[in-house]
Structure 1
Amino acid sequence: MDLYYEMTGQGTPLVLLHSGGADLRDWTWVTPLLAQQYKVIALDGRGCGQSPNPSEEPPDYVDDLLQALDHLELSQAVIVGHSMGGQIAAEFALKYPERVTKLVLIAPGLSGFAHSPQFLGWMEKIREVAPDVDRMMDIALSGPSYQVVMASQRREWMERMWKENTVKMMQWGTWESVWPQPPAAERLGELAVPTLFILGREDVPDLHRIAECFRAVPDIRFILMEGADHKPTLTHPEEICRHITEFVEGRV
């Protein structure tokens, strides 16, 4: 397995998958709290942090996660995914439910979801100025997803992590990726793993619409975090850890 990871703590294994434009530093303030009770494995996704870039062949992030669990000799784990990491986590739980004891999704993406024109327009503005990373960052981090974190004490941390990973992304062999078919948006009723869905109230409307899609999951709980946007891992780590712990321990 060629992905970089960091492991700390003892107990029930929790595998953490970070958001897009980030790396395992997404969990910097979350990991030490969770590691007081659990074995915590934070991965750098392919093309992020210290993991290798995708080659010209589109990466399969679900297969990457399977290989990581096999390498770590984990027959099962709690999978925690944030944003893009949440999309990977949900896809993995649909394909390999026997490997997932519980699933925690923090503002996840969703394959097959029809994004709003406003969201697509914002993403297109970012792509139009590539590969000028500074202009990409100005547009991305001034967007509606990051109003809370960019007004917080984690702003510099967020900017540094996003810029470093965007520079790295410019070196990828491809920006395409492989996802299971049909898309997850059409199969959420088949998700057989107990699931916790965490969302910041200040996140964009598209994420609230994705939350409504996940109501099709048979065994799911929803947490709406006040005063949080798309980056509650940076701005609200204690609350995130409390919700995860209560869910893993069966108290919610």
Structure 2
Amino acid sequence: MDLYYEVSGEGKPVILLHSGGADLRDWMYVAPILAKHYQVIAFDGRGCGKSPSPTGVANYIDDLLAVMDHFKLDEATLVGHSIGGRIATDFTLTYPQRVSKLVLIAPDLTGYTPSQPFTEWMQKIQETPDVDRMVGLSLSACPYRVVMGSPQKDLLTEMAKHNLAKMFEWATWESVWPQPPAIERLEKLANQTCLIIGKEDALDAKRIAEYFKEVLPERRFVEITGADHKPTLTHPEEIAGAITKFLED
């Protein structure tokens, strides 16, 4: 297993999957709180942080399976943020017996069609050849208006700069995902699930959250007032508290 990871605490295993353009520092404030009660495993996704860049088409589901097998875990709680939530959801649908509980924080979702403004924003970022300008364009958008006005602004900016620059080292930006896409199979998500979202997050994140509510109305939903797409950085106590309450109920 060639991915970089950090482990803290003891107890039932909780695996943290970070958001896009970030690395395990996404959990810098949340992990120490959870580690008071659980064994917390945070790792850098392939091509992020200190993990190696993809040399071919990335398979993030296989990478997560490799992490679990490396630690000899029959099952664990998965906590996924943004694209980490997409990975956690697809992994759970593929290997339900390996997941005890599932926590999704503003998750992405395979098969979801993004809004036109989001698609145009992403296209502008991808067409920008300069990393500093890419970071500026990325973090000036609606999903980051709260965190960019917080003391965690410099941490987020440094993470984004490091990981966007690293993307230029990737052999390809392509990735492979289980089929059919998760959006067509959510009703099969039998594992206990909790979805957390910031009240100030972007429209697309809210639409995905609403879709989860429609398909899985009996699941737990937590909305954090005053948080945007990065509640892990600005509201770690609320995030850790919601996770702990969900795991202990």
What TM-score comes out, normalization by structure 1 length?
0.97
1:171 to 166, 169, 173: 169
Deviations 1:171-227 (A, max 9, x none): 000001000011111110111110000000100011111011112136511001100
Is the 8 Å Cα contact of residues 58 and 174 (structure 1) preserved in structure 2? yes
The structural deviation recorded for 1:235 is 0.2
Partner AA of 2:148 in structure 1: M
Aligned residues: 248
Correspondence 1:246 to 2:245: yes
What 5-or-longer segments of structure 2 have no aligned partner?
none
**Aligned partner of residue 77 in structure 2, secondary structure:** strand
1:122 matched to which residue of 2?
Answer: 121
Correspondence 1:227 to 2:226: yes
1:214 matched to which residue of 2?
Answer: 212
The structural deviation recorded for 1:230 is 0.2
Partner AA of 1:21 in structure 2: G
Partner AA of 1:202 in structure 2: E
Please list every run of at least 4 consecutive aligned residues from structure 1 whose deviation after the TM superposition is greater than 2 angstroms: none
The structural deviation recorded for 1:154 is 0.3
Aligned equivalents of 1:24 and 1:67: distance in 2?
Answer: 17
2:107 matched to which residue of 1?
Answer: 108
Partner AA of 1:205 in structure 2: L
Two-structure CA RMSD over aligned residues (Å): 0.8
217-226 or 115-124, which deviates more: 217-226
The structural deviation recorded for 1:15 is 0.2
Is the 8 Å Cα contact of residues 10 and 39 (structure 1) preserved in structure 2? yes
Correspondence 1:141 to 2:152: no
Q: How does 1:1-252 map to 2 (within 5 A)?
A: 1-55=1-55, 57-129=56-128, 131-215=129-213, 216-217=215-216, 219-250=218-249
Aligned equivalents of 1:237 and 1:226: distance in 2?
Answer: 13
**Aligned partner of residue 52 in structure 1, secondary structure:** coil
Aligned equivalents of 2:118 and 2:176: distance in 1?
Answer: 22
Aligned equivalents of 2:116 and 2:78: distance in 1?
Answer: 31
The structural deviation recorded for 1:82 is 0.3
Aligned equivalents of 2:235 and 2:217: distance in 1?
Answer: 28
Is the 8 Å Cα contact of residues 195 and 219 (structure 1) preserved in structure 2? no
Is the 8 Å Cα contact of residues 190 and 217 (structure 1) preserved in structure 2? no
The structural deviation recorded for 1:125 is 1.1
Partner AA of 1:147 in structure 2: R
Partner AA of 2:192 in structure 1: P
Deviations 1:17-46 (A, max 9, x none): 000000000000011100000000001000
Identity of aligned residues (%): 58
Deviations 1:148-178 (A, max 9, x none): 0000000001000110011111100000100
Partner AA of 1:10 in structure 2: E
Partner AA of 2:35 in structure 1: A
Aligned equivalents of 1:218 and 1:137: distance in 2?
Answer: 37
Aligned equivalents of 1:220 and 1:174: distance in 2?
Answer: 37
Partner AA of 1:182 in structure 2: P
Aligned equivalents of 1:104 and 1:76: distance in 2?
Answer: 14
Is the 8 Å Cα contact of residues 18 and 44 (structure 1) preserved in structure 2? yes
**Aligned partner of residue 207 in structure 1, secondary structure:** helix
What TM-score comes out, normalization by structure 2 length?
0.98
